Amino acid sequence: MGYPATVTIHGAGRTVTGSCFEVTSGDRHVLVDCGLFQGSRTLEALNREPFAFDPAQIDAVILTHAHLDHSGLVPRLVAEGFSGPIWATAPTVDLLVPMLKDAARLQEQDAERRNRRLDRADEDPFEPIYTVADAEAALARLRPISLGSLFTPAPGFEAMLWNAGHILGSASVDLRHAQSRLLFSGDIGPEHKAFHPDPDAPSRFHHVFCESTYGDRERETVTIEERRRMLEAEVKAAMARGGNLVIPVFALERTQELLLDLARRINAGTLKAAQVFIDSPLAMRATEVFAKYSAKLEDLGSGEVFHHPAFHFVEDVAASRRLNDMSGAIILAGSGMCEGGRVRYHLLENLARRDSTILFVGFQADGTLGRTILDGAKRVRISGRDVAVRAVIRRMDSYSAHADRTELAAWIHAREPISGSLFLTHGEPGAIEALRRSLQGEMASILVPEIGETYAVPPDGLARRLKTGREDLRDALGRDWQNDYAAFTVDLKRALEQIDADHNRREAIRRMRGILTDYRAARSQQAALRKVT
């Protein structure tokens, strides 16, 4: 009969990133995903916390796809004792080679940069989460497996991967053991997405874990050709303004979709003399992987796409900086949420230019610089500098790699009957709640797990919570105090300048300091009273 299974949520519980689910049966442990937390500094700090499990006790890892919020902590897992196989589709394996090495290099560079800062001279050295050597050790453990092939990730478990339609190589994980059959959606792509067939998986599961990233929105139905015309209009409007068009992009999939659409419009003669700079070495390497699998991709049409003469891949930092001396350039630069990478250089140079355009084509998580700009901030703080936002800010939702609410509900219903519980994961609270309400009354049991919770997932009943989640994380999901601090400091100087005299400005600063002093004293007094009682 085997042991009953449990699932512990280590990430992507009421937040979008950090996907990690531990499935346990007896003394066997399988992880579905092991991803980085991304977003606010408080959320990213979770990447440095000790794992809530012993990495040496994990028998296997199954990765749904190569995005770092699903795979980016694997090098650390290996560095801390994991020695089992890491299963993924062949395209995911190929993509992880540049993805994990690049992530490790960024970790090392970030640590070096922080340790050079003068304001940290009296602090302990900042260590990278993992190194390039750790990434290479993780890559050695990768095991490619085809969609639809039954395999044994660990003794007592069987698994099969199904097309998730999200990015190249993405999959949903159909995980079976002696008693229960579970399905982990990974990220589900929208219908009729470029490159890939629509998401697919069988039905009749005991429990389903489904992502909810866009559970609170309905996108306008746009064909690929209509999307290309919309992009063309955005490009022409941006070029007419005379400045640069900066598009923050994810190196994987979003960049290649944009290149596909730009190439098709240039080849059709409707976009003339367009010069496109892809300022991301990672995007260049990911594009080579797409080119490798081009025979299996949909929508490529005729003519050159990935090696188009209008496309210029920017390899070194010096060439990247020289782009800031240009006008009339189309610059695709990472990262997609503006939290790191070369796009921050281009935002520093272009946000304050009234003739430049910033076009967002991807999801912007709460607490990120991209979301702050998109939400209408007049000034932002980038790399310690205050920057006025004068550029034209635009947004296109039609490039989403995630299914919207209707598509998610359709995917869930196609998995029925679900005899046990539906878990809604990988979404911000508002998105999850909107999807939950839309499904209420249609499903026997809908659960919204928190990070740290453990559930029994029996084959003959509803899931049952065995362990509560981490209450301390509830305030860390979304915007944090550091987002508020950045917004406050950006506005502070201007607010002080609006006070009519220097002595009044100094008085305002004195009062603000006093408020902080009084608040700290009150908190200390409250803590002392709690100890007495």
Instruction: Return the CATH number at 450.
Output: 3.60.15.10
Rounded-to-integer distance, Cα 440 and Cα 434, Å: 10
Two structure tokens written together for 510: 């004195």
Domain end point (choices 378, 395, 412): 395
**Backbone conformation region of residue 449, classed left if phi is above 0, alpha if psi is from -120 to 50, else beta:** beta
On whether both 197 and 251 belong to a single domain, the answer is no
Two structure tokens written together for 264: 């098709």
Structural domain harbouring 126: 8-217+400-473
pLDDT tens column, 153-184: 999 999 999 999 999 999 999 999 878 999 99
Provide the Cα torsion 161, 167, 168, 172; round to 10°: 0
Classify residue 528: in a domain, yes or no. Answer: no
Classify residue 2: in a domain, yes or no. Answer: no
On whether both 58 and 171 belong to a single domain, the answer is yes
Angle formed by the axes of helices 90-116 and 281-292, nearest 10°:
170
- The bridge status of strand 181-184 relative to strand 171-176 is antiparallel
Classify residue 245: in a domain, yes or no. Answer: yes
Classify residue 3: in a domain, yes or no. Answer: no
Provide the number of structural domains found in the chain.
3
Classify residue 527: in a domain, yes or no. Answer: no
Tell me 31's DSSP state.
E
On whether both 389 and 370 belong to a single domain, the answer is yes
Cβ neighbour number for residue 76 with a 10 Å cutoff: 24
Classify residue 533: in a domain, yes or no. Answer: no
On whether both 170 and 195 belong to a single domain, the answer is yes
On whether both 68 and 148 belong to a single domain, the answer is yes
Q: Are 99 and 282 in contact (CB under 8 A)?
A: yes
On whether both 97 and 147 belong to a single domain, the answer is yes
On whether both 99 and 73 belong to a single domain, the answer is yes
Model pLDDT, residue 340: 84
Two structure tokens written together for 17: 């990133």
Which residue has 């601090």 as its token pair?
485
CB-based burial of residue 37 (10 Å sphere; 0-12 exposed, 13-18 middle, 19+ buried)?
buried
On whether both 213 and 85 belong to a single domain, the answer is yes
Model pLDDT, residue 360: 97
On whether both 382 and 412 belong to a single domain, the answer is no
On whether both 391 and 411 belong to a single domain, the answer is no
**Backbone conformation region of residue 383, classed left if phi is above 0, alpha if psi is from -120 to 50, else beta:** left
On whether both 87 and 39 belong to a single domain, the answer is yes
Instruction: Going residue by residue through the chain, which has 533 residues, state the pLDDT in tens, using 9 for 90 and above.
Output: 467 899 999 999 999 999 999 999 999 999 999 999 987 778 889 999 999 999 999 999 999 999 999 999 999 999 999 999 999 999 999 999 999 999 999 899 888 988 887 777 788 888 999 999 999 999 999 999 999 999 999 999 999 999 999 999 999 999 998 789 999 999 999 998 999 999 999 999 999 999 999 999 998 888 899 999 999 999 999 999 999 999 999 999 999 999 999 999 999 999 987 789 999 999 999 999 999 999 999 988 777 788 899 999 998 889 998 998 899 999 999 989 998 889 999 999 999 999 999 999 988 887 889 999 999 999 999 988 899 999 999 999 889 899 999 999 999 999 999 999 999 999 999 999 999 999 999 998 999 999 999 999 999 999 999 999 998 887 666 566 666 776 677 677 778 888 888 888 888 988 988 898 888 888 888 877 777 76
Domain end point (choices 376, 395, 414): 395
CB-based burial of residue 267 (10 Å sphere; 0-12 exposed, 13-18 middle, 19+ buried)?
middle
Classify residue 1: in a domain, yes or no. Answer: no
- The bridge status of strand 28-32 relative to strand 20-25 is antiparallel
Model pLDDT, residue 483: 62
Domain end point (choices 395, 426, 450): 395
Classify residue 370: in a domain, yes or no. Answer: yes
pTM: 0.86
On whether both 233 and 276 belong to a single domain, the answer is yes
Identify which of 422, 465, 17, 411 has the alpha carbon closest to the alpha carbon of residue 182.
422
Model pLDDT, residue 495: 82
Model pLDDT, residue 121: 77
> What is the enclosing helix (H) or strand (E) of 171?
strand 171-176
Model pLDDT, residue 378: 93
Which residue has 């980038």 as its token pair?
382
